[in-house]
Chains A and B, each alone.
Chain A
Amino acid sequence: DAKTTQPPSMDCAEGRAANLPCNHSTISGNEYVYWYRQIHSQGPQYIIHGLKNNETNEMASLIITEDRKSSTLILPHATLRDTAVYYCIVRSGTGANNLFFGTGTRLTVIP
């Protein structure tokens, strides 16, 4: 599975969009980009995933560059409850169903 690089921390004003970047320059053709988050000490929570097209669900949008070497998770209207550590993970859809978590980005939403 490809490695990912994320900034260690970011701040975002409440009500504004939070844009969390992730670099995955060694991603291969069959690898998906997944995003999870971990609020305080709870178990990680799945947010969204994609292969090459942009994806949107009720929680967030995922923008993947055309060369697939980077992506951005967008929380359109951040709330205080979105304060969490966000993990970008790249994994093969045909490999064992395990996830390699790095240290993620700690997003702090500021009132």
Chain B
Amino acid sequence: NAGVTQTPKFQVLKTGQSMTLQCAQDMNHEYMSWYRQDPGMGLRLIHYSVGAGITDQGEVPNGYNVSRSTTEDFPLRLLSAAPSQTSVYFCASSYHLGQPQHFGDGTRLSIL
């Protein structure tokens, strides 16, 4: 198993550009989520999904969209990148409600 795979690992964008951060898991996990981590801080939840076709907002959802068309994939879209979205983004998944989450290695995003 590859676990949770995030691509790209690094990305630089200009303000106003859009892009999609990819997240895929091969563990048949129902739950997937996106977090962002700013320097010196803990992780903050952006969006999460309890299964294919179901998504919901987390703590800091503004400026981001998600969809969950398959169990395996949970892409995160930045609609119009802003410098405040410069951060490290982590995707995570788990089998069911209450189970420990597995994290990807992160995408480091810089917005100029």
- The answer to whether A97 touches B104 (Cβ under 8 A) is no
- The answer to whether B106 touches A93 (Cβ under 8 A) is no
Interface size class, chain B: 20 to 34
Q: How far is the CA of A10 from the CA of B56 in the complex (A)?
A: 37
Which residues of B14-54 are within 8 A (CB) of A? 31, 33, 35, 40-45, 48, 50
Which residues of A55-111 are within 8 A (CB) of B? 87, 93-104
Q: How far is the CA of A100 from the CA of B33 in the complex (A)?
A: 12
Contact stretch, chosen from B66-74, B78-86, B94-102: B94-102
**What 20 additional pairs, Cβ within 8 angstroms, besides A34-B100, A103-B40?**
A43-B90, A43-B103, A43-B106, A45-B103, A46-B100, A49-B100, A87-B42, A94-B97, A96-B56, A96-B97, A97-B31, A97-B33, A97-B48, A97-B50, A98-B48, A99-B43, A99-B45, A99-B101, A101-B43, A102-B42
- The answer to whether B102 touches A46 (Cβ under 8 A) is yes
Given contacts A41-B106, A46-B102, A93-B97, contact A98 B58 (CB under 8 A): yes
Residue of B nearest to A49 (CB): B100
Most buried by B among A49, A87, A98: A98
Q: How far is the CA of A7 from the CA of B96 in the complex (A)?
A: 31
- The answer to whether A97 touches B42 (Cβ under 8 A) is no
- The reply on B88 being an interface residue by CB < 8 A is yes
Q: How far is the CA of A45 from the CA of B100 in the complex (A)?
A: 9
- The answer to whether B106 touches A97 (Cβ under 8 A) is no
> Chain B residues with Cβ under 8 A from A103's Cβ?
40-42
The 0/1 profile, CB within 8 Å of B marked 1, for residues 25-67 of chain A is: 0000000101000000111111001000000000000000000
